[in-house]
């Protein structure tokens, strides 16, 4: 484990190689799973405020769910999650050439909104559990991402490097630099060579 500030980072975040390969996985993380993507409470208001700019990129089925229940639902643990279409697909997913994409991110990329997407989506395959005293930062293994493990290993890209941008978005550039410095100090060479 690596401790930086109030975060504890699993060794898997530095050891596991991972690089999304949409041509292989088709963005299945947006359409598989037991519940929607985790949402921070503050993200709900952001999405609600931006929904008129997001809707043009959504599918009819997703819009119908949003009209019925709103932009969030409750997960099995009572936390906030994105609603699902047909108890399967995130309401914000749309498809192009058989690949799943995010309507929120599309609105962001088109310059309509300044919110890229929920941080939990941006950080995947990292999952963060927030405790009173610290955040636990862990790698989440999911068989639908096996192609990302192969691609990441082929190109030698560890999880923390693939997720540099969202990690900075979540914790800041100073935090990320400390993580990088800690890893490059050689203290974790034995972990990396396992």
Q: Which tens digit of pLDDT belongs to each residue from 40-64?
A: 999 999 999 999 999 999 999 999 9
Residue 172 burial (CB count, 10 A): 12
The mean pLDDT of the chain is: 92
Determine the average pLDDT of the residues in 106-124: 96
pTM of the model: 0.88
Instruction: Enumerate the H helices of 12-139 as residue ranges.
Output: 12-15, 22-25, 41-54, 60-69, 103-109, 119-123
| pLDDT at 194 exceeding the cut of 60 | no
Instruction: Report the distance separating Cα 58 and Cα 101, nearest Å.
Output: 10
Residue 133 burial (CB count, 10 A): 7
Task: Report the pLDDT value the prediction gives residue 31, as an integer from 0 to 100.
Answer: 87
| pLDDT at 189 exceeding the cut of 70 | no
Residue 137 host element (H or E)? strand 135-139
- The secondary structure of residue 11, as a DSSP letter, is T
Paired with 80 in beta bridges are 74
Phi, psi angles (nearest 5°) of residue 104: -65, -50
Task: Report the pLDDT value the prediction gives residue 33, as an integer from 0 to 100.
Answer: 76
**What confidence tier does 191 reach under pLDDT thresholds 50, 70, 90?**
low
Instruction: Report the distance separating Cα 174 and Cα 35, nearest Å.
Output: 33
Q: Packing angle between helix 173-182 and helix 164-171, nearest 10 degrees?
A: 120
The residue among 194, 190, 182, 184 whose CA lies nearest residue 3 is 182
Of the chain, the percentage scoring pLDDT greater than 90 comes to 76
Minimum mean pLDDT among 7-16, 87-96, 143-152, 154-163: which range? 143-152
Coil, strand or helix at 110: coil
Residue 82 burial (CB count, 10 A): 31
Which of the pair, 123 or 24, is modelled with greater confidence? Answer: 123
Residue 94 host element (H or E)? strand 93-96
15 token code pair: 């050891």
Task: Report the pLDDT value the prediction gives residue 144, as an integer from 0 to 100.
Answer: 84
């Amino acid at each position: 484990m690596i401790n930086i500030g109030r975060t504890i980072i699993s060794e898997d975040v530095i050891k596991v190689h991972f690089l999304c390969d949409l041509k292989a996985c088709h963005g299945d993380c947006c359409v598989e799973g037991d519940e929607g993507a985790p949402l921070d409470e503050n993200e709900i208001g952001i999405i609600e405020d931006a929904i008129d700019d997001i809707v043009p990129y959504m599918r009819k089925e997703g819009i119908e769910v949003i009209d019925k229940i709103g932009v969030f639902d409750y997960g099995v643990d009572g936390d906030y999650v994105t609603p699902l279409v047909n108890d399967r697909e995130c309401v914000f997913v749309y498809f192009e050439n058989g690949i799943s994409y995010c309507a929120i991110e599309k609105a962001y990329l088109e310059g309509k909104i300044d919110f890229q997407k929920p941080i939990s989506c941006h950080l995947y395959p990292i999952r963060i559990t927030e405790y009173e005293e610290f955040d636990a930062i862990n790698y989440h293994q999911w068989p639908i991402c096996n192609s990302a493990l192969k691609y990441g290993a082929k190109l030698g890209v560890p999880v923390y490097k693939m997720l540099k941008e969202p990690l900075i978005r979540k914790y800041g550039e100073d935090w990320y630099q400390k993580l990088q410095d800690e890893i490059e100090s050689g203290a974790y060479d034995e972990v990396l060579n396992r």
